[in-house]
Amino acid sequence: QRGTAEPFEVKITRGKITISSVTWEDKGNGIAYIRISRFGSETNKEWNQAVSEINLKMADLDAVVLDVRGNPGGYMDSAIHIASEFLKSNTVVMHQEDALGESFEYKDTRTGSFERLPKIFVMIDGGSASASEILAAGLKENLGDLVTMVGDKSFGKGTIQDARDFKDGSGLHLSVGKWLTPKKNWVHDIGIEPDVKVELTLEDFTEGRDPQLDKVLELAKE
């Protein structure tokens, strides 16, 4: 504590802190900004809640901004679930290919609330990996010019892991296949290039500026 010269004791009670992986904000002009920090076990439920709130509070919805910057990925099914909000039913979101070259399709199996949106923006950067790239590529390759990706090139992680936990507390993440975009492109070690490249410098970050988001909001208002 500032201003206290002598040390003092504080009793701290351990507690569980829950941080939502999906948050949203009304940016005005019919623009809903949705931040997805990770794709975890609660992400689908948190996404559904956010969508319900947006539909309830934003009757003038014209554009959705999905921010997956710095999102390292997580559950593949959550990326597919979120992509399905924007795609028509039975649309291929991604392909999975095993070591023998056998391929499996993953499709949108539900009717989403944002299928008729005229403007969709996806914010990516070098920290956007795996499930974040599945979401970004799934939307861009299916919806074309309706989707504008802004930011910097994504990480480029195109493998799929099977996570195993053991009784001694150790664990193993085993690569069991690779994922491909709807058009069967493999982004591993390549990444996804944004449509509009905007750098976020260290100075921007320390000064609290976000030129990438500023650019998205500028484009969304056009």
**Hey, CA dihedral for 79, 92, 63, 133, is it positive or negative?**
positive
Helix, strand, coil percentages in the chain from 3-state DSSP, rounded to 5: 25, 25, 50
Q: What's the average model confidence in pLDDT over 193-199?
A: 98
73, 137 contact by CB (below 8 A): no
Does residue 1 surpass a pLDDT of 60?
no
Q: Residue 2: what pLDDT?
A: 57
Which is catalytic among the residues 27, 107, 161, 221? Answer: 161
Output the average pLDDT for the chain.
Answer: 95
Q: Residue 166: what pLDDT?
A: 92
Where residue 32 falls among pLDDT bands split at 50, 70, 90?
A: very high
Q: Supply the CATH classification number for the domain 22-220.
A: 3.90.226.10
Which is catalytic among the residues 119, 140, 157, 178? Answer: 157
Q: Are strands 119-124 and 103-107 parallel, antiparallel or unpaired?
A: unpaired
Does residue 172 surpass a pLDDT of 80?
yes
Is 183 known to be catalytic?
no
- Amino acid in the structure at residue 126: G
Which is catalytic among the residues 21, 130, 132, 212? Answer: 130
- The pTM of the full predicted model, rounded to 2 decimals, is 0.90
Is 175 known to be catalytic?
no
Q: What's the average model confidence in pLDDT over 173-202?
A: 96
- Strand, helix or coil at 209? coil
User: DSSP letters of 125-166?
Assistant: -TT--THHHHHHHHHHHHHGGGEEEEES------EEEEEEE-
Is 130 known to be catalytic?
yes
Per residue in 77-115, pLDDT (tens digit) is 999 999 999 999 999 999 999 988 899 999 998 999 999
